[in-house]
Structure 1
Amino acid sequence: MNSTDVPRLSVRSPGDLIAAVPYLLGFHPADSVVVVAMHGKRVTFAARSDLPDPREPVEAAERMAEPARPVDEAARHLAAVVARQVADRATVLGYGPASRVTPAVDAVRAALADAGIPVLDALRVTDGRYWSYLCDEPECCPPDGTPYDTGSSKVTAAAVFAGQVALPDRAALAAQVAPVDGPERVALRQATERAGRRLADLLDSAPEADVLGGRTVRAAGRAAIRVAGRRHRNGERLDDDEVAWLSVLLTDVAVRDHAWERTDGRDADIALWTDVLRRAEPEFIAAPGSLLTFAAWRAGHGSLAAVALERVLTLHPGYSLALLLDDLLRRGVPPAHLDGWPAVRLPGVVRRRKRGRRGPR
């Protein structure tokens, strides 16, 4: 499941809404159920999940309990996410064949009703046509569906003008965070070996007072983060040794947290951590991938956050920051809850206080 907060788009018809969905999600959905939430007359939020297979029940919590269907579990999840947003109504759209879309849409409608969210319409979208589950008037909702043309919609034009991008599918979105390969990967592997030797030399040269080299590593990490941020703000790209050195230093939690406090939803943040995630060696992607997830979520790019987080958790399923962000995305916490970051707390996180110098006893 993924969700996003995006610049609001005004819609006047089901065709306009269908045209808006790919820009709300960042890609054209398929085999999906999407809930588009509205506040007043404006679209404010969209959440998507894959169409579940209604033939496969989830195991009951107790042997004698009635097993829950995946379609119902997914519906309740979507409704709970939407309920946390600034929304007073919603429309449900299912993409795919009627045999799979209908039970999913029905379940989501029921879950939204239980959550107190009125459903304006429920649509099935397939092969350039849509059908409404709430309208049976042949004059406006013909049995063979209503054709739509997203290319001629003003919503499409407005989204493109605003810089919104709709990729062909979710796989195209995932490709944006996929690791580089070929000669570039070989060069980065060699750069990471050099970074490892550089770190060992740094620790060997640490002052005696810095017993484990922690202060020395943190100082190097802050310097690397400062340089990387400045380079990306100026539209420059880090070289292989800079990427490798930064990725190695980010394994120190204090260095990672220093980067985290300086990461928000700025374009430069997203560009930096996307680049480092794609180029870092697999064992070092947890921190940059989590930082990209956070930056994308703060910017309202929920789908990008989801695919970045998926990469991290696939290779590093126990990484604490990734698990925290996974919970954040699954609960549908709105990015606006962290306006003022890092002065405000991330929901569910108790941040450590920095120790000040002790005064004289």
Structure 2
Amino acid sequence: MARTDRPRLTVRSPADLIAAVPYLLGFHPADSVVVVAMRGRRIIFAARADLPGPGDDPLDPATHLAGVIARQGAESATVLGYGDASRVTPAVDAVRGSLAAAELTVLDALRVTDGRYWSYLCDEPACCPPEGTPYDTGASEVSAAAVFAGQVALPDRAALTTQVAPFGGPARVAMGRAVDRAERRLAAMLVGAPEADLLGGRTLRRAGVDAVRAALRRCRRGERLTDDEVAWLTLLLTHLPVRDHAWERTDGRERDLALWTDVLRRAERDLIAAPGSLLAFAAWRAGQGALAAVALERVLEAHPDYSLALLLDDLLRRGVPPSQLDGWPTTGPPGVLRRRSRRA
């Protein structure tokens, strides 16, 4: 799911919309049902779900998608199904019904495959021939405008997953050694903590705050953290006050996305929960819901009970817009918020 707080793309036809969808999602969908929501004449949101498999009830994803779209304050929507008619048609029909039940106008419903599209709402051969209407996204002005604006559409969702995948080979071996050094450093630091510092909590937090601030400074200068800095930072982020300090200083800025993507990919598996959740939060704030989702998948596969990841996963699944929680977490948990302006 993705907010569309990005450079405007002018859509004048079904072919233009098909060309725009990969840039709204961040990747080219396949075997998917996509709903593009509108308020007035403006696209405000795009949501995607896998096509139901054999034996799956198409009403389940349809009801979920309609609920997400309705929560955006949308007035109308277009449904696009990508794949064979035998799988797409029941999914699109279910989504159309769920949108209508949510009192949303369905502007069009399309099936897209092999360079052609078919409309479920138009049977006029002059504009919607039975053999489908050919389209060429490469020749679309929408694609050209998106590329010119710096927007990227990856080949598929797997390519997006690769962007948060762990590094392997010598880089992984080097990071393992760096974590060993960081663990020895942490043990020595706690042994040397003042007696009044119960369990070394204040010492840990002070070291963590220093590590987070140093990482943010390095990122602002366009510098990459060393292995030892990543190992030390990820080890300290397991201390929740340190994680929360980093969370309060994370937003949807490019440097936040760059920092936490790099740290997540280099972190040891046991230490990915905090950086992966921080990346997901930054991506959600930036309107990059698909990136947030794949980051959370990595975290929850390794740490299924990590509370921040579960909370963010719930926000994504319910389609909560970042604007509803401006200032979070500084202002408190959802439901106890005081609005403040989003940081630049």
Q: TM-score range by the shorter chain?
A: over 0.9
Show the counterpart of 2:44: 44
SS, match of residue 275 in structure 1: helix
Query: Is this contact kept in 1: 2:281–2:312, CA < 8 A?
Result: yes
Query: Is this contact kept in 1: 2:325–2:337, CA < 8 A?
Result: no
Query: Is this contact kept in 1: 2:4–2:43, CA < 8 A?
Result: no
Query: Which letter does structure 2 place at the counterpart of 1:78?
Result: L
Structure 1 residue 190 and structure 2 residue 177: aligned? Answer: yes
SS, match of residue 198 in structure 2: coil
Q: How does 1:140-155 map to 2 (within 5 A)?
A: 140-155=127-142
SS, match of residue 258 in structure 1: helix
Query: Is this contact kept in 2: 1:33–1:93, CA < 8 A?
Result: yes
SS, match of residue 9 in structure 1: coil
Post-superposition shift, 1:340? Answer: 3.5
Query: Is this contact kept in 1: 2:279–2:295, CA < 8 A?
Result: yes
Query: Which letter does structure 2 place at the counterpart of 1:314?
Result: E
TM-score (norm 2): 0.95
Query: Is this contact kept in 1: 2:11–2:17, CA < 8 A?
Result: yes
Structure 1 residue 181 and structure 2 residue 168: aligned? Answer: yes
Q: How does 1:234-313 map to 2 (within 5 A)?
A: 234-313=221-300
Larger deviation, residues 2-11 vs 20-29 = 2-11
Structure 1 residue 320 and structure 2 residue 307: aligned? Answer: yes
SS, match of residue 9 in structure 2: strand
Query: Is this contact kept in 2: 1:4–1:303, CA < 8 A?
Result: no
Q: How does 1:97-246 map to 2 (within 5 A)?
A: 97-246=84-233
The C-alpha deviation readout for 1:149-192, integer Å capped at 9, x for no partner, is: 11121211221122110000000000000000000000000000
Query: Which letter does structure 1 place at the counterpart of 2:287?
Result: G
Show the counterpart of 2:66: 79
Post-superposition shift, 1:339? Answer: 2.5
Post-superposition shift, 1:312? Answer: 0.3
SS, match of residue 137 in structure 1: coil
Query: Is this contact kept in 2: 1:9–1:44, CA < 8 A?
Result: no
Q: How does 1:341-356 map to 2 (within 5 A)?
A: 341-347=328-334
The C-alpha deviation readout for 1:184-224, integer Å capped at 9, x for no partner, is: 00000000011111110110110111020000000000000
Post-superposition shift, 1:264? Answer: 0.4
**Runs of 5+ unmatched residues, structure 1:** 58-68, 352-361
SS, match of residue 47 in structure 1: strand
**Runs of 5+ unmatched residues, structure 2:** 339-344
TM-score (norm 1): 0.91
Give the whole-Å Cα distance in 1 for the aligned partners of 2:276 and 2:326: 22
Query: Which letter does structure 2 place at the counterpart of 1:182?
Result: G
Post-superposition shift, 1:322? Answer: 0.5
SS, match of residue 111 in structure 2: strand
Give the whole-Å Cα distance in 1 for the aligned partners of 2:134 and 2:102: 32
Aligned length: 337
Query: Which letter does structure 1 place at the counterpart of 2:275?
Result: P
Query: Is this contact kept in 2: 1:3–1:48, CA < 8 A?
Result: no
Post-superposition shift, 1:141? Answer: 0.2
Give the whole-Å Cα distance in 2 for the aligned partners of 1:245 and 1:116: 52
> Identity across aligned pairs (percent)?
73
Give the whole-Å Cα distance in 2 for the aligned partners of 1:195 and 1:294: 26
Change (3 A) 1:340 1:47: same
